Amino acid sequence: MAVPKVEAAKCDGCGNCIDVCPADCFEMQDNKSVVVRPDDCVECMACVENCPTEAIELV
């Protein structure tokens, strides 16, 4: 079972991952996306595909 990880240094706070995640895994904290519900991930890859800075991976 993979879970999403955000590399904070790469995140520019665009919010795309929050908008596209069907499982509500992310929240914005201090203009960075934080994975708050990793175990809810359904591995759809939408966050990875829509992150402009390649800050997200499933691991």
CA–CA distance, 32 with 42 (Å, rounded to integer): 22
Q: Which of 1, 30, 34, 53 binds ligand SF4 (CB under 6 A)?
A: 53
Spatial distance between the Cα atoms of 13 and 59, rounded to a whole number of angstroms: 21
Count interface residues toward ligand SF4 (CB under 6 A). 28
| 12-51 residues near ligand SF4, rule: CB under 6 A | 12-17, 20-23, 25, 33, 41-47, 51
Chain positions contacting ligand SF4, by CB under 6 A: 4, 6, 11-17, 20-23, 25, 33, 41-47, 51-53, 55-56, 58
